[in-house]
């Protein structure tokens, strides 16, 4: 598994991957003459791409294969083995690796399947044997259950994929747990004129992991973008460290993440756990660390195309020039759908454009120049210059497709001129087509001469890509949190005490609130009562009206069983509510233990919000914020952020929700106490952090925020299972 590595440990891992991708020789283990076999395909590909090292077929039961000598033992080889391509039954792999390492091998690609991915116990056992062999020998191993790797610079191609393709150095590294998807990405990028420098199919990742590969490619000067198909994160801390290393090196990591499991959320005790989708958690944590997540492989292609050829934008305001009113409308619709906006043309920009175009043709941004912009050789280019000079525009999108053949000299001249402008501009320039289209050899040759321009395909796909690029740019520009604090040891001790008692993992409301109150979270005036007389005395002390709620760790959802009464205006109503609640508890089929009834101040005014934290199975702890109360399940207006929060992250989290606009004040209503809300979010985050894995979920719903202060009307803490 990937681990948090010291600098020396990271260097050692990088040296392993370097050995994997730059082998001195290749030994193909499992060589056979069976028709269509993978070992022979690997042999042919190594020869086809002129791999400069020796390639040795290996099979203990064969003397010749593929009309060449086949070696029966490592001792027979003319030189020590360096890299193994392993295609033998799973049961033979661990022993083979040990033998190869003893003979001098540095790395291996294990294509064999039948390990952890197998549903039977034998596969699990073999997976553990393989893991121990890798750890004991120190071999650099990709796989098992993978499709090989390639490195264009070394002319090394250990894949059985025998389709026609190029092996050319480029700015992109592709890696993924699915060999078929890795090669599909490579072929599609190649079709678009973007070469893949190296590719890794990582398979089960029993040896090296996605995190290791990302960290390695972050050190490779020629790589600008790392495109990654990811099924699961093996070790969160190492994965995030690798993303941060890539971000610090100025590399972009584009990830298509598979899976949004609801397992475990269906039975979540708190709203937070049920609402926190794994993709949201991934974006909240990995996105901030530097990952750009796309929804599908088409979006990955567009994102890679953009990042290879254009700088990151400074903001999200668009500018466009089109030759079609229809495309103008499509751009406006798609921008709105994807949360982008077109900046209004400034008076200065409008005046400059008026000197070139007829006043009637300037209808705003996007600028539909029509054929007016083509009335003179320099008119179109001057329009592009003017929009690039406009400080209100962060991204310039232009209408055009790459020509498929000669005969469009005017168009090509314009493309070359815009490329020169883009090379000097401090903002990205991308051409957008109305619809997806294919490229020819002519298109790709021209495309190679336009290195500073991105060519995106189809309007909505392009604008979705721009939305993810803008978010990625914001994440890449984030400053590390400067907030430092000491954990509350008293709270840690209290959590440990409750965790050690066994029984229900859910803490009752009073205990949950006491943990949060230690961090300064505001609470209404309230009192735990065990008799009617106590309840009446508490209500009189607090002041009517009051709320009465059952207190039981076994009943986290109090309203569902009749355990809540609100708006109690006098002593008689308090007595009646106390009795009714206790009767409802006694009638409950689970016969829960009841601590008593909580009599609480009835707080009105302001708005109801939800604050929470949960531990995602892959990404670890995240903080949640959004619209709370009865609207929570209806609107699902929530956003997540990495835990622990600092103040800047808390403000950004608030602003990513519709509830944030209510906090700012809308339709003449005054703003609410944002500082109190930020403090409350930090309190939830700090408790989750101090718990150090002992808390599974925190749910504060509703949190009522007013013009001055805020209070947690209800709270629930769920301990993690041992």
Are 205 and 70 found together in one domain?
yes
Q: Measured between alpha carbons, how far is residue 37 from residues 59, 143, 155, 178, 259 in Å?
A: 14, 19, 22, 20, 32
The predicted pLDDT at position 263 comes to: 44
For 638, the 3-state DSSP assignment is strand
At residue 472, the pLDDT reads 96
Domain that residue 408 falls in: 310-476
State whether 562 and 466 are in the same domain: no
612 in the same domain as 594: no
* Same-domain check for residues 469 and 370: yes
Q: Are residue 57 and residue 141 in the same domain, yes or no?
A: yes
Contacts of 363 (CB under 8 A, 6+ apart): none
CA dist., res. 127 & res. 122, Å (int)? 9
Are 672 and 703 in a shared domain?
Answer: yes
CA 160 to chain centre: 31
Q: Are 697 and 614 in contact (CB under 8 A)?
A: yes
pLDDT at 422: 97
Residue 273's pLDDT is 44
Residue 491 lies in a domain: no
Q: Is residue 235 part of a domain?
A: yes
- Which of 602, 624, 658 is the last residue before a domain boundary? 602
Does the residue 423 lie in any domain? Answer: yes
User: What's the gap between Cα 34 and its chain centre?
Assistant: 43
Q: Quick check: is 674 in a domain? A: yes
CATH code: domain of residue 537: 3.30.1490.20
The pLDDT score that the predictor gives to residue 588 is 85
589 lies in the same domain as 664: no
DSSP 308-365: HHSPPPSSSEEEEEES-HHHHHHHHHHHHHTT-EEPPPPHHHHHHHHTTS-GGG--SS
Domain of 422: which CATH number? 3.40.50.261
355 lies in the same domain as 457: yes
> Is residue 558 situated within a structural domain?
yes
Query: Does 662 lie in the same domain as 597?
Result: no
Q: What pLDDT does residue 363 have? A: 67
Number of structural domains found in the chain? 4
Final residue belonging to a domain, choices 258, 283, 301 = 258
Q: Based on the fold, state whether residues 471 and 367 are members of the same structural domain.
A: yes
- pLDDT for residue 262: 52
The DSSP 8-state label assigned to residue 506 in this structure reads B
Residue 343: the pLDDT is 85
Within a domain: 282? no
Q: Could you tell me the mean pLDDT of each successive run of 10 residues in the chain, 722 residues long?
A: 62 95 98 92 96 97 95 97 97 97 98 88 93 97 96 97 88 95 96 97 94 97 97 90 96 88 42 57 93 96 98 95 90 94 89 77 74 64 93 95 90 94 95 95 96 97 96 89 86 88 82 96 96 96 96 86 92 96 88 90 92 91 88 76 93 93 86 96 96 93 94 94 72
Which of 242, 258, 274 terminates a domain? The answer is 258
Same domain for 61 and 192, yes or no, is yes
Q: Is residue 127, in this structure, part of any structural domain at all?
A: yes
Q: In the prediction, which pLDDT does 630 show?
A: 65
167 and 186 together in one domain: yes
């Amino acid at each position: 598994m990937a681990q948090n590595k010291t600098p020396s440990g990271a260097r050692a891992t990088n040296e392993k991957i370097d050995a994997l991708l730059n082998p001195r020789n290749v030994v193909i283990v499992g060589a056979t003459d069976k028709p269509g076999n993978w070992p022979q395909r690997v042999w042919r590909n190594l020869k086809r791409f002129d791999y400069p090292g020796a390639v040795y077929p290996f099979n203990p039961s064969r003397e010749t294969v593929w009309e060449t000598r086949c070696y029966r033992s490592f001792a027979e080889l003319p030189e020590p083995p360096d890299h193994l391509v392993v295609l033998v039954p799973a049961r033979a792999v661990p022993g083979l690796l040990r033998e190869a390492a003893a003979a001098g091998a540095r790395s291996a690609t294990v294509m064999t399947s039948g390990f952890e991915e197998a549903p039977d116990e034998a596969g699990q056992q073999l997976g553990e044997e393989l893991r121990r062999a890798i750890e004991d020998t120190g071999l650099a191993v990709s796989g098992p259950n993978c499709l090989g790797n390639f490195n264009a610079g070394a002319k090394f191609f250990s894949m059985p994929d025998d389709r026609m393709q190029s092996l050319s150095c480029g700015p992109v590294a592709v890696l993924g747990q699915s060999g078929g998807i890795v090669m599909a990405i490579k072929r599609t990028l190649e079709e678009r004129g973007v070469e893949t420098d190296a590719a890794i199919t990582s398979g089960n990742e029993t040896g090296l992991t996605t995190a290791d590969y990302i960290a390695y490619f972050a050190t490779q000067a020629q790589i600008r973008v790392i495109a990654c198909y990811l099924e699961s994160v093996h070790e969160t801390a190492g994965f995030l460290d690798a993303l941060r290393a890539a971000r610090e090196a100025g590399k972009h990591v584009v990830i298509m993440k598979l899976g949004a499991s609801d397992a475990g959320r269906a039975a979540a005790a708190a709203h937070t756990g049920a609402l926190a989708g794994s993709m949201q958690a991934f974006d909240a944590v990995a996105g901030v660390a530097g990952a750009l997540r796309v929804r599908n492989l088409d979006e990955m292609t567009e994102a890679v195309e953009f990042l290879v050829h254009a700088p990151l934008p400074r903001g999200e305001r668009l500018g466009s020039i089109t030759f079609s009113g229809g495309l103008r409308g499509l751009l406006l619709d798609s921008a709105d759908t994807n949360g982008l906006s077109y900046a209004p043309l400034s008076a200065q920009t409008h005046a400059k454009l008026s000197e070139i175009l007829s006043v009637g043709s300037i209808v705003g941004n996007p600028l539909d120049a029509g054929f007016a912009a083509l009335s003179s050789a320099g008119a179109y280019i001057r329009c592009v210059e003017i929009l690039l000079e406009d400080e209100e525009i962060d991204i310039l999108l232009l209408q055009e497709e790459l020509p498929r053949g000669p005969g469009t000299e005017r168009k090509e001249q314009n493309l070359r001129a815009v490329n020169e402008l883009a090379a000097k501009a401090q903002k990205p320039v991308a051409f957008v087509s109305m619809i997806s289209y294919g490229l020819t050899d002519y298109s790709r040759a021209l495309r190679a001469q336009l290195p500073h321009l991105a060519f995106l395909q189809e309007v909505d796909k392009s604008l979705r890509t721009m939305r993810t690029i803008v978010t990625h740019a914001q994440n890449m520009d984030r400053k590390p949190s400067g907030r430092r604090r000491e954990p509350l040891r008293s709270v840690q001790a209290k959590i440990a005490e409750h965790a050690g008692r066994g029984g229900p993992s859910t803490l009752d409301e009073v205990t949950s609130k006491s943990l949060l109150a230690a961090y300064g979270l505001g609470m209404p005036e309230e009192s735990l009562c065990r008799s009617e007389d106590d309840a009446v005395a508490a209500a009189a002390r607090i002041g009517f009206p009051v709320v009465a709620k059952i207190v039981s760790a076994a009943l986290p959802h109090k309203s569902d069983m009749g355990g809540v009464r609100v708006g109690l205006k006098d002593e008689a109503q308090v007595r009646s509510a106390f009795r009714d609640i206790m009767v409802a508890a006694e009638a409950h089929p689970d016969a829960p233990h009841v601590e008593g009834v909580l009599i609480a101040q009835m707080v009105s005014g302001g708005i109801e919000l939800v604050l929470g934290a949960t531990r995602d199975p892959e990404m670890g702890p995240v903080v949640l914020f959004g619209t709370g109360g009865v609207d929570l399940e209806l609107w699902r207006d929530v956003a997540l952020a990495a835990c622990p929060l600092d103040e800047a992250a808390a403000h950004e989290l608030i602003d990513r929700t519709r509830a944030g606009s209510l906090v700012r004040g809308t339709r003449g209503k005054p703003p609410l106490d944002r500082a109190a809300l930020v403090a409350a979010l930090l309190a939830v985050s700090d408790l989750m952090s101090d718990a150090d894995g002992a808390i599974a979920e925190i749910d504060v719903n509703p949190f009522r925020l007013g013009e001055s202060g805020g209070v947690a009307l209800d709270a629930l803490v769920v301990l993690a299972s041992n």
